[in-house]
Amino acid sequence: MADTPSSSKKPLIIAGLAFVIMGSIAAGVIFYLQEHRLEVSRARVEDHIGVHTHALSSSIDHAMSATFALAAIVKQDQGKASNFESVAQQMLPLYPGVSELALAPNGIIEQIVPRIGNEKVLGLNLLTHPQQSRDALKARDSGQLTLAGPINLIQGGIGLVGRLPIFLNEKTEQPIFWGFAIVVVHFPEALEPAHFSHLTERGYDYKLWRTVPGSDDIQIIAESSAESLIDPVSEIVNIPNSNWVLSVAPKAGWSDPVPQTINSLSGVLFSLLIAYLAKLLTDIHIRKQTLESLVVERTAEIQSAWNQLEATIEVIPDLFWLKDTDGYYLSCNRQFELLTGVPKNQIIGKTDYDLFPESIADFFRANDREALKIGLSRTNEEELTFASDGRYGLFETTKTPLLDKHGKQIGVLGIGRDITERRQNDIQRQLLANRLTALIEAIPDAIFYKDGKGRWLITNDFAKQLFKLQGVDWLNKTDRQLAEQRPEFSAFHEACVRDDETTWQHGSLQIFEEKMLDENGQQHFFDVRKMPIFNHEGEREGLVILGRDITEAKLQERHLKLAAKVFEQSSEGFLITNAENRIVLVNKAFTDISGYSETEVIGNTPHLFSSDKQDDTFYRKMWSDINENGRWQGEIWNRRKNGEIYPELLNISSVLNDEGQLTHYVAVFSDISSLKASEAQLEYLAHHDPLTTLPNRLMLFERLGHGIEISKREGKQMALLMLDLDRFKDVNDSYGHLAGDQLLQQVASRLHLRLREADTVARLGGDEFTVLLEDISHKEDAARVAENIITDLSAAYLLPGSGEARIGVSIGISLYPEHGGTPETLLQQADTALYLAKSQGRGRYAYFSDELTLIARERMDIEARLRRALKNNELRVYFQPQVDIASDKIVGAEALVRWQDPEHGLVPPNRFIPIAEETGLIIAIGDWVLHETCRQGKEWLDAGLPCITLAVNVSPHQFGQSDIKAIVARTLEATGFPAQLLELELTESGLMERQEKAVTILNALRDLGIHLAIDDFGTGYSSLAYLKRFPLDVLKIDKTFIDDIPHQQDDMEIAATIIAMGHTLGFKVLAEGVETVEQLDFLTTQGCDLYQGYLKSKPLTANDFAELLRNQTGI
């Protein structure tokens, strides 16, 4: 039948409509595919993020777990943590990424490892520090591990700080907060386990961030780029008491223009193809009538074969269909109906283009043609969505050409099996395998996996390097097969076989120590752990093996055991300090020698044992040798715990770490007391003073006798100087005997420096020294030496631990042959001359004479009689009036002691007072005078006499060597004399000798209510700075400045200056020794307040003074 014009246009119209419809469908499909691709991309990113967040979280959790180990140490040691440093140093390698471990008792950081570089944090109070207290208090109050950071660390850098509060007595109702265990992880080391670089290598940008606690601010912890991320995928990183977020997005964004363009072009082409197919189908429809007979014929041929399979295909769970060679469906099963969502009767006779989208239909048709083309079965994977329920699946499709009895292709048989679950399992298994492989390769130990028959299946690179497996065909080989390939490892493999069998027999984790000789014959030790795996039937499935090379650890353990045995069993003392010279370890011999236990010395410096027998020069030289050579050996004197000084043979060595940094000092010593004693004890004790090492009296006499012989033979002169230190007893009393010993040593040193090598310096005992000058040319040579010695010894002494001290020296000189011809005579004469020098005011020297001998004998006689006088009440108190210049009235009196000797009559004070001061009797005399004066004053008051001030002199000895306040208080209480009427007169020189102490004593006396006066002012060397600090009431001008007034202008100016200065300082001024009217007139003109002297009255007995006082008042 001929085509009409309308029928010829019909295919074009249908093609146009098909193009529009399919274009819309293609656009929807493209949009769907784009969204699907985006979901797949985001799912892939989520998988990546999970790996990194898990690695980061696990790494931080592992690092923070170190706090629990530290807390356990503290609790086990009851809060002491004495072995913290050693344990912490061992822990650090076990916690990769951890840079510091610390303990903070009561919140204050006291211990940290390593110490070097972290000194700034020592002493830091976490509970009060502005930046640290919030997190620290949170940890303490919650009782939980808290993580702070990233924060700027005080010791420098940025890091994470984990704090675990430690509570002692946790089992009680009130556990005690001890402090914190602290772990510090520095940046960027804290992030290294997360391997964020892998993200950038895969084309992603990332940001690791957190919300700052207490605010809404965002803190960037780490990022690959400062640019903002586009629609990132985020996952929370769980860490103690906080959450971080990892956000990841592709660098180029989620949309890829190339696939989108291809999809768009494919849609257009697909629409054009559908339009063409529509036109073609229309043409086919027109031609259908002519083809129906042919279809029926071919269908009949196929139907005969299909009938045989009909019953079978319906029960097959796979997709089943049958097409002819032109793609028309001839049959299908129930599963295929579910796929298309169309009943079987509506599928038959249709093509893929009737049932599926064009792109899918094209794919199916192309596979059909390929199978027909090659004439063989063809299998491929197809992604299908079931129209019945929307289920998506991946199918493994096999298409097989069907032949008629003549071998002619009549169709295609298709079978599709759902492999979605299998493929997902494959993916998960591969992912798990990849993760397991990465984990195995990251472990720094040898890892193996063998199957149940002992064949090697898995091993990591570390194991391959360790056991030289590079280039060895080890896969699926047993140990015995490997031993045949490598005979040098045969013993190792045989040991593996034995240990494997032992593990299988036990059926649980087994630990072995295996040995292996390498190709160089070196023996290696391995800690090997083997875990068997059995299948569900109990058969051997596989063996997991982990081996760690412990060769170095074994060697170190052996060395440590040997060192520890030597350390503890050695008869020599061992002492180990850290780089700061703090003692960290001692052995038993140390305790036996020094007397100190380990707990008493740990943390101290070796200065604890110092004997002070070595000076600073010795120690400077010793440390110079140690610093330059790394060691020092020599003899040294140290002090035991009981105070005993003993000699040591000492060896000190420096200990450096692998980087050449100083870490410790090791001292090894032995007590050589016995050796030294046997060598030098008799010699030393016989001839030397042990404190100053100077010759003693015996050696002095030997040298003196020897010198006399030479001088007699050669006609030479010699001089013997006897030295006695002035105010040495004050140093002993003020600073202690140790300071006194140090002072004597310095005196000896100065004498050595001053004298010639030929001269002899000896110490006789106490503070007495002698100097023997041999071969002098003139008598005056001895005087010059004496003057130099006085100058040298008068200079200030710096006493370690006590400050500065000053003393003086008095020297007596005897000459050979002028003053004697034997050692005994010369020493006696020098001693006599010494007393003369001391009587002249000290700080002087004097030569011996016969007159001095007589004086010395008289001194001794006076001393003996004076002691008797105290017992027999031969002392008397005389009173000299003190007159107010303005009123000319007696307002006071000075108490003056006199000695009424029954044989020699009245002894003047200048005869017995100096002797009393030298012998110490002045203290007893002073106490008696004070008591007698107060008793007499109370008697006068009771008799009705006027109230006047009674002044009592206090000697420097009495002021400095007795408890003057207690004595005065007892005297006032015993006598009942009013304190406000008592005045104590103290000498200017006595106050200045002990300025600081004097202020304290004077204030104590003032608290009793008495008055204080400074006597003989102008004759000493008062410091105005101290004078104004003294709580004085009266300043007395010494008689020597009054005697020559008005004849000496200098004395007049001095007296006027003293009066003006005294008034400026708030003192009353009293002039002593006023004997003429002219002197009184001058004093009145200058505004002097008081005077005493013979112008008014000489010193009077108590009765005479009372009579004078009665006459003045008219009583």
What is the residue-wise DSSP string for 236-282? EEEETTEEEEEEEEETT-S--HHHHHHHHHHHHHHHHHHHHHHHHHH
Phi, psi of 387 (to 5 degrees): -70, -25
Which conformational region is residue 162 in: left (phi greater than 0), alpha (psi within -120 to 50 degrees), or beta? beta
Q: What local confidence, expressed as pLDDT, does residue 724 receive?
A: 92
- Virtual CA dihedral for 311, 314, 319, 321, nearest 10 degrees? 50
pLDDT band with cut points at 50, 70 and 90 for residue 989 = low
Q: How much is the CA Rg of the chain, to the nearest whole Å?
A: 57
Which range, of 622-631, 876-885, 995-1004, 1094-1103, averages the lowest pLDDT? Answer: 995-1004
Handedness of CA 728, 731, 736, 742 (dihedral sign): negative
Residue 1018 has pLDDT above 80, yes or no: no
Q: What local confidence, expressed as pLDDT, does residue 959 receive?
A: 79
DSSP string, 417-463: EE-HHHHHHHHHHHHHHHHHHHHHHHSSSEEEEEETT--EEEE-HHH
Q: Of 148, 165, 307, 315, which is closest to residue 241 (Cα–Cα)? A: 148
* C-beta of residue 451 within 8 angstroms of C-beta of residue 542: yes
C-alpha of 384 from chain center: 69
Task: State the alpha helices, DSSP H only, in 65-126.
Answer: 66-76, 84-91
Residues 510-539 have a mean pLDDT of 81
Residue 850 has pLDDT above 60, yes or no: no
| Rounded distance between C-alpha atoms, residue 671 and residue 1080, angstroms | 77
- The helix or strand, by DSSP H or E, that contains position 1083, with its residue range, turns out to be helix 1077-1085
Residues 752-776 have a mean pLDDT of 90
Which range, of 225-234, 735-744, 970-979, averages the lowest pLDDT? Answer: 225-234
Q: What local confidence, expressed as pLDDT, does residue 9 receive?
A: 67
Which range, of 164-173, 503-512, 1030-1039, averages the lowest pLDDT? Answer: 164-173
| Rounded distance between C-alpha atoms, residue 227 and residue 249, angstroms | 11
pLDDT in tens, 12-56: 777 777 677 777 777 777 777 777 777 777 777 777 787 788 877
Residues 931-940 have a mean pLDDT of 95
* C-beta of residue 761 within 8 angstroms of C-beta of residue 693: no
Residue 122 has pLDDT above 90, yes or no: no
| Rounded distance between C-alpha atoms, residue 982 and residue 30, angstroms | 121
Residue with tokens 């180029």: 252
Which range, of 408-412, 855-859, 864-868, averages the lowest pLDDT? Answer: 855-859
pLDDT in tens, 787-826: 899 999 999 999 887 788 889 999 999 999 988 899 999 9
Q: What local confidence, expressed as pLDDT, does residue 859 receive?
A: 73
Residue 1026 has pLDDT above 70, yes or no: no
Residue with tokens 């001693």: 831
Domains, the chain, with CATH or none? 15-64+196-278 (no CATH), 66-195 (3.30.450.350), 297-420 (3.30.450.20), 443-550 (3.30.450.20), 570-677 (3.30.450.20), 688-848 (3.30.70.270), 862-1109 (3.20.20.450)
Tokens of 983: 């005045």
How crowded is residue 505: how many other Cβ atoms within 10 Å of its Cβ? 9
pTM metric for this prediction: 0.36
Which range, of 218-227, 250-259, 936-945, averages the lowest pLDDT? Answer: 250-259
Q: Which amino acid is at 836?
A: L
Percent of residues, the chain, with pLDDT higher than 70: 88
Residues 407-428 have a mean pLDDT of 85
Residues 1089-1101 have a mean pLDDT of 94
Q: What local confidence, expressed as pLDDT, does residue 826 receive?
A: 92
Which range, of 382-386, 605-609, 669-673, 1099-1103, averages the lowest pLDDT? Answer: 382-386
Q: Is the peptide bond before 114 cis (omega within 30 degrees of 0)?
A: yes
Q: 297: buried, middle or exposed (CB in 10 Å: 19+, 13-18, 0-12)?
A: exposed
Tell me the sheet residues that pair with 719.
Answer: 773, 815
| Angle between helical axes of 850-872 and 921-942 (0-180°, round to 10) | 40
pLDDT, averaged across the chain: 83
| Rounded distance between C-alpha atoms, residue 128 and residue 107, angstroms | 9
Tell me the sheet residues that pair with 578.
Answer: 664
pLDDT in tens, 135-192: 888 888 888 888 887 888 888 888 888 899 988 876 666 788 889 999 998 888 778 7
- First vs last Cα of the chain: how many Å apart? 183
Residues 592-608 have a mean pLDDT of 90
Which range, of 85-94, 646-655, 692-701, averages the lowest pLDDT? Answer: 85-94
Q: What local confidence, expressed as pLDDT, does residue 2 receive?
A: 47
Q: What local confidence, expressed as pLDDT, does residue 209 receive?
A: 83
Residue 575 has pLDDT above 80, yes or no: yes
| Rounded distance between C-alpha atoms, residue 915 and residue 863, angstroms | 7
How crowded is residue 19: how many other Cβ atoms within 10 Å of its Cβ? 20
Residue 239 has pLDDT above 60, yes or no: yes
Residues 1041-1051 have a mean pLDDT of 89
Q: What local confidence, expressed as pLDDT, does residue 155 receive?
A: 81
Phi, psi of 342 (to 5 degrees): -125, 140
| Rounded distance between C-alpha atoms, residue 399 and residue 370, angstroms | 9
Q: What local confidence, expressed as pLDDT, does residue 85 receive?
A: 84
| Rounded distance between C-alpha atoms, residue 1033 and residue 56, angstroms | 83
Q: What local confidence, expressed as pLDDT, does residue 925 receive?
A: 92
| Rounded distance between C-alpha atoms, residue 981 and residue 951, angstroms | 9
Residues 750-772 have a mean pLDDT of 90
Q: Which residue has the higher pLDDT, 986 or 890?
A: 890
